[in-house]
């Protein structure tokens, strides 16, 4: 967290100095006042998260663990969901040791295989009874993929889709009736930049994230009058074990830390940005450098050029 705050502080001072050089004090001072008011407003709105019940899937490591810390630090009652009970216990203990929060609301853990869709409802329903509601659901659990289309057995496509798409939809449909009954709720889907653009050798992964995007867009429209909010988060590369655990086209584990992943965003930074998106009730947030952002625009405005670039990229990486 210290690294993030230092970067944000340095970035702020850089913007201030740049504004002074370009426009002088008459422009810079009003901008500073607006910026200060906006920061204070966001801090005030963040206090509204206190005591909110937040369920986080994939909470045993990586971005999910960082999200657990970020929301718990805001005073939320967190429910941590993952398959590995020992790792969930570790995260729970870390939270209780690291922060001062309401002592009567320790983190709740739910050991659950989200791909076991048919047996999910009873377990989730029991957990919901602990607090009696779910205010925010963060669908973070997922798996990545590396491989060629022609070499990938359809079973791998199904497994990726089951983990990244169907499990999120199934869990959301279990929780949505509770949100509708309480007349409020917020569902956050952790997608990817590859949910907006597809790149070579990521077919199954990109397809699952594209499907996710469509489901959230449709659900947002249909449930707007029920006061249910939907946010899609499209991160670029995050420095987690996602590539290590990725599936290859033969079904084996990839087992390597890609350079792009190694140089990706710190999960704590992304988690803080997601908290901000919940506070602001944003519909879609892309957390990525300029190149992926430009690629998204290019895919929309000049698709033939985008396809040509991807064709050459595939040849280069093959």
Question: Could you tell me the sign of the dihedral formed by the alpha carbons of 187, 215, 180, 131, in that order?
Answer: negative
285 in Cβ contact with 231 (< 8 Å):
yes
Catalytic-residue membership of 205: yes
Using DSSP's 3-state secondary structure scheme, residue 85 falls into: helix
User: Which of 210, 208, 58, 204 lies closest to 145 in space, CA to CA?
Assistant: 204
Report residue 239 as tokens. 């420095």
70 near 268, Cβ under 8 Å?
yes
Contact of 81 with 106, CB cutoff 8 Å: no
- Best CA proximity match to 64, nearest among 288, 268, 280: 268
Question: How far apart are the C-alpha atoms of 200 and 310, rounded to whole Å?
Answer: 7
User: 102 near 80, Cβ under 8 Å?
Assistant: no
Two structure tokens written together for 48:
């509204």
The single residue of 145, 205, 216, 306 carrying the catalytic annotation is 205
Other CB atoms within a 10 A radius of the CB of residue 47 amount to 10
- Per the listing, tokens 């009567």 go with 104
The angle subtended at Cα 170 by Cα 164 and Cα 173, nearest 5°, is 135
Q: Which residues are catalytic?
A: 205
């Amino acid at each position: 967290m210290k690294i993030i705050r230092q970067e944000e502080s340095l970035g702020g001072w850089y913007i201030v100095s740049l504004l002074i050089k370009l426009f002088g004090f008459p422009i810079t001072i009003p901008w500073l006042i607006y910026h200060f008011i906006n920061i204070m407003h966001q801090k005030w709105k963040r206090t509204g998260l206190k005591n909110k019940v937040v369920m986080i899937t994939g909470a045993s490591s990586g971005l999910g663990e960082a999200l657990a810390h970020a929301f718990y630090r805001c005073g939320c009652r967190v429910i941590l969901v993952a398959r590995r009970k020992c790792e969930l216990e570790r995260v729970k203990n870390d939270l209780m040791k690291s922060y001062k929060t309401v002592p009567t609301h320790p983190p709740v853990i739910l050991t659950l295989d989200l791909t076991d869709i048919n047996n999910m409802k009873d377990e989730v329903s029991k957990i919901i009874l602990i607090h009696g509601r779910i205010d925010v659901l963060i669908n973070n659990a997922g798996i990545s993929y590396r491989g060629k289309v022609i070499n990938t057995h359809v079973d791998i496509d199904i497994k990726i889709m089951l983990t990244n798409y169907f499990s999120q939809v199934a869990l959301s449909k279990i929780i949505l009736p509770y949100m509708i009954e309480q007349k409020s709720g917020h569902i956050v889907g952790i997608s990817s930049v590859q949910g907006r653009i597809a790149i070579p050798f990521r077919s199954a992964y990109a397809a699952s994230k594209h499907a996710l995007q469509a489901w959230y867009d449709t659900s947002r429209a249909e449930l707007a009058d029920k006061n249910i909010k939907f946010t899609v988060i499209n991160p670029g590369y995050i420095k987690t074990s996602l590539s290590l655990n990725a599936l290859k086209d033969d079904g084996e584990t990839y087992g390597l830390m890609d350079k792009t992943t190694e140089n990706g965003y710190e999960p704590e930074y992304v988690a803080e940005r997601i908290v901000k998106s919940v506070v602001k009730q944003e519909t879609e947030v892309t957390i990525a450098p300029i190149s992926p952002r430009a690629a998204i625009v290019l895919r929309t405005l000049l698709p033939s050029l985008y396809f040509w670039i991807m064709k050459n990229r595939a040849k280069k990486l093959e």
